[in-house]
């Protein structure tokens, strides 16, 4: 019997998810022994034409990382969806929109303006912007279109499973590949990680007070955190209470607060407002002005609470009334 | 897709109000029995306490077509459950900052303390938020509208992408 065929693909991503596959270390040899990797642009020289030539459904699984924000990414994931029996959204960006999803606080026009005109590193100042079509003597050159709104993978194609994390922890990748090979998968649509909050697996949990009362919210550079005590109780915005476990509390072990890359448990729709609720509830004051002053110490609520999940949030992106008008 | 998309009819704001059972809902009842009239734009949802109000409810209301959200709870010190309205206030304070950063105008989401005896305040507050939101115009957040907005900027795109499992 031939080995199952597997594809890895990246969309709007940083490359960290590709790195996570390499982090499988010797285990990658087991993976390579058990499957045929037929498409993996970061490592192997196969092209889009090669995927197009494959029969529909001939891939066992496509692991897709990165958010979707261009016409090219949209075409590629639709192509992979046709060719693959299973699609796994790999990592925070494909799962929830991830860091690139924070671009949803801007409009495309602003992004282009910043990148091609305003940024200090732009020096030639000849006003060039990327065009979708450019005529040259040899013919027409084309570029993909950048979308105005960054999307999660499941806002664009049907997704069968999700591997959370920024990037997904090695043990979860191994577990996912193992259960796919053994055909022991949970119900479709599942997130392939335990459905419990991170505090549950955190070694500092015993030091987390039952009732917390915070008058101060600190950023990591403002405090030399005690390496044993609960970080939240020390005033750092640790999102462990609302984040799915499965990473082994990697950041907390490094004395850094959890920023929520694993996303929410299945009980939560909108990670950001849930995290916001958890943090606001700690405030030790009943006076409106004092409450506001304490909460003002939290810089950038959107970037803090939706760091990995803005496109998957209930609002998806910042509200631009002119969009609403333009759409008529 | 919805009435607020038609250009001909004047815009009538749709406002979802979450009123706590013990104070504001009772006050709304009082306003009703006293035959006070107020703007018919508000759909009231009774919750046991303003502290029960998960901010996800507020965003869901906006996402599903509300142009504004009003939250009513007992005055500070009067909460039936002692602390619920303080919890609501803490969340609301941070939520407002988040919404501002997301471009949602302040007047669209309001919190008011209304005691059981203040039927007239229910009337006043509902009329005020209705006018505030009317001035701002409709909030186009329906999934379809969002995708149409994306599509409008992408004239050469094939069909609008489907909304995923985010809801
Ligand atoms: S809040 Fe953070 S540091 Fe505290 S127990 Fe939870 S994960 Fe650990
Ligand atoms: S501690 Fe939080 S941010 Fe760090 S890896 Fe785990 S889930 Fe991600």
> What is the residue-level pLDDT of chain B in tens, covering all 167 positions?
444 555 568 899 999 999 999 999 999 999 999 999 999 999 999 999 999 999 999 999 999 899 999 999 999 998 999 899 999 999 999 999 999 999 999 999 999 999 999 999 999 999 999 999 999 999 987 554 444 444 444 444 333 333 333 33
Q: Is A208 in the pocket of ligand 1 (CB under 6 A)?
A: yes
**Over the range A256-290, which residues count as b (16 or more CB within 10 Å of their CB) and which as e?**
ebbbbbbbbbeebbbbbbbbbbbbbbbbebeeeee
pLDDT for the residue numbered B159:
37
Residue A191: the pLDDT is 97
Asked if the Cβ–Cβ distance from B138 to A273 is below 8 Å, we say no
B 59-118: CB under 8 A from A: 59-60, 62-63, 76, 86-87, 89-91, 93-95, 97-98, 101-104
Q: What are phi and psi of A165, to 5 degrees?
A: 115, 155
Residue nearest to atom 4 of ligand 1 (CA): A230
Q: What is the ipTM of this complex?
A: 0.91
Chain A closest-CA separation from residue B9 CA (Å): 15
User: Please, is A84 exposed, middle or buried when counting C-beta atoms within 10 Å of its C-beta (0-12, 13-18, 19+)?
Assistant: buried
A5 alpha carbon to ligand 1 midpoint, in Å? 40
Ligand 2 binding pocket mutation candidate from A200, A241, A262 (most atoms within 8 A of CB):
A262
How deeply is B5 buried, as exposed, middle or buried, from its count of CB atoms within 10 A (0-12, 13-18, 19+)? middle
Q: Which of A171, A162, A234, A230 is nearest to A198 (CA)?
A: A230
Rounded Cα distance, A221 and B67, in Å: 40
Burial of residue A49 (CB within 10 Å: 0-12, 13-18, 19+) is exposed
**pLDDT at position A24, please?**
87
For residue A177, give the 3-state DSSP assignment: helix
Please report which helix (H) or strand (E) contains residue B89, including its range: helix B84-101
Give the closest residue to B147 by CA, choosing from A72, A153, A324, A76: A324
Entry pTM: 0.90
In chain B, residues with a C-beta closer than 8 Å to the C-beta of A140 are none
Which of A277, A286, A323 lies closest to B55 in CB terms? Answer: A277
Q: What angle do CA B67, B68, B74 make, to 5 degrees?
A: 160
Ligand 1 pocket, residue A258 CB under 6 Å: yes
Closest residue in A to B164 (Cα–Cα): A155
Whether residue A92 has its Cβ less than 6 Å from ligand 2: no
The contacts found for A41-44 with CB under 8 angstroms, 24 or more apart, are A41/A8, A41/A9, A41/A10, A42/A8, A42/A10, A42/A15, A42/A18, A43/A8, A43/A18
Distance between CA atoms of A299 and B154, rounded to whole angstroms? 34
Q: Provide CB contacts within 8 A for A161, sequence distance 6+.
A: A86, A87, A88, A89, A176, A185, A186, A188, A189, A190, A191, A192
**Counts for chain A of helices (H) and strands (E), in that order:** 12, 9
- The closest alpha carbon to A276, from B91, B96, B167, B83, belongs to B91
Q: CB–CB of B162/A155 below 8 Å?
A: yes
Given this model, what pLDDT does residue A8 score? 96
Q: Which ligand is nearest to the CA of A234?
A: 1
CA of A247 to the centre of ligand 2 (A): 6
Rounded distance between C-alpha atoms, residue A212 and residue A225, angstroms: 17
Given a contact cutoff of 8 angstroms between Cβ atoms, the answer to whether A312 and A102 are in contact is no
d(CA B29, nearest CA chain A) in Å = 28
Token pair 């809801």 is found at B167
Q: What does the alpha-carbon distance between residue B50 and residue B21 come to, in Å, rounded to a whole number?
A: 9
Q: How many residues does this entry show for chain B? A: 167
Reduced to 3 states (helix: H, G, I; strand: E, B; else coil), residue B21 is coil
Tell whether ligand 1 has an atom less than 6 A from the beta carbon of residue A244.
no
- Which residues in chain B (120-159) have CB-CB distances under 8 A to chain A? 137-141, 145-146, 148-150, 152-154, 156-157
Q: What is the pLDDT along chain A (328 residues), one digit of tens a residue?
A: 689 999 999 999 999 999 999 888 888 888 888 999 999 999 999 999 999 999 999 999 999 999 999 999 999 999 999 999 999 999 999 999 999 999 999 999 999 999 999 888 888 767 888 899 999 999 999 999 999 999 999 999 999 999 999 999 999 999 999 999 999 999 999 999 999 999 999 999 999 998 889 999 999 999 999 999 999 999 999 999 999 999 999 999 999 999 999 999 999 999 999 999 999 999 999 999 999 999 999 999 999 999 999 999 999 999 987 655 443 2
* DSSP-derived secondary structure letter, B104: -
Residue-level pLDDT at A199: 97
């Amino acid at each position: 019997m031939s080995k199952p065929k597997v594809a890895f693909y990246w969309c709007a991503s940083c490359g960290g998810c590709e790195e996570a596959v390499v982090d499988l270390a010797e285990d990658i040899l087991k993976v390579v022994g058990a499957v045929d990797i037929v498409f993996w642009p970061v490592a192997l020289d196969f092209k889009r034409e090669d995927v197009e030539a494959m029969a529909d459904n001939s891939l066992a699984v496509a692991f897709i990382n990165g958010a979707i924000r261009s016409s090219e990414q949209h075409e590629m994931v639709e192509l992979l969806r046709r060719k693959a029996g299973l699609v796994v959204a790999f990592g925070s960006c494909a799962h929830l929109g991830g860091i690139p999803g924070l671009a949803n606080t801007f409009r495309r026009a602003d992004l282009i303006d910043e990148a091609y005109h305003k940024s200090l590193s732009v020096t030639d100042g000849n006003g060039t912007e990327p065009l979708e079509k450019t005529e040259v003597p040899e013919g027409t050159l084309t570029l993909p279109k950048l979308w105005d709104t960054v999307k999660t993978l499941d806002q664009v194609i049907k997704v069968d499973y999700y591997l959370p994390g920024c990037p997904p922890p090695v043990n979860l990748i191994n577990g996912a590949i193992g259960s796919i090979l053994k055909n022991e998968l949970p119900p479709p649509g599942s997130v392939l990680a335990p459905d419990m909050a991170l505090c549950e697996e955190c070694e500092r949990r015993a030091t987390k007070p039952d009732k917390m009362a915070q008058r101060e919210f600190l950023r990591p550079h403002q405090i030399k955190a005690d390496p044993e005590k609960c970080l939240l109780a020390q005033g750092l915005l640790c999102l462990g209470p609302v984040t799915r476990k499965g990473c082994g509390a990697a950041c907390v072990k490094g004395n850094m607060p959890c920023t929520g890359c694993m996303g929410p448990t299945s009980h939560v729709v909108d990670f950001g407002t849930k995290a916001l609720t958890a943090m606001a509830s700690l405030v030790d004051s009943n006076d409106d002005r004092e409450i506001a002053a304490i909460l003002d110490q939290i810089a950038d609520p959107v970037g803090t609470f939706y760091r990995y999940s803005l496109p998957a949030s209930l609002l998806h992106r910042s509200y631009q009334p002119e969009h609403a008008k333009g759409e008529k | 897709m919805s009435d607020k998309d038609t250009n001909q009819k004047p815009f009538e704001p749709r406002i979802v109000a979450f009123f706590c059972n013990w104070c504001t809902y009772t006050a709304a009842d009082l306003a009703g029995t006293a035959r006070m009239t107020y703007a018919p734009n508000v759909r009231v949802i009774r919750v046991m306490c303003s502290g029960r109000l998960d901010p996800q409810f507020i965003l869901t209301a906006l996402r599903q077509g509300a142009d504004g959200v009003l939250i009513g709870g007992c005055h500070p010190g009067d909460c039936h459950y002692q602390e619920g309205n303080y919890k609501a206030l803490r969340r609301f304070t941070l939520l407002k900052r988040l919404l501002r950063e997301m471009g949602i105008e302040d007047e669209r989401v309001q919190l008011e303390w209304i005691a059981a005896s203040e039927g007239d305040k229910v009337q006043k507050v509902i009329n005020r938020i209705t006018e505030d939101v009317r001035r701002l115009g409709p909030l186009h957040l329906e999934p379809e509208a969002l995708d149409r907005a994306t599509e409008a900027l992408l004239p050469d795109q094939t069909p609008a992408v489907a909304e995923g499992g985010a809801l």
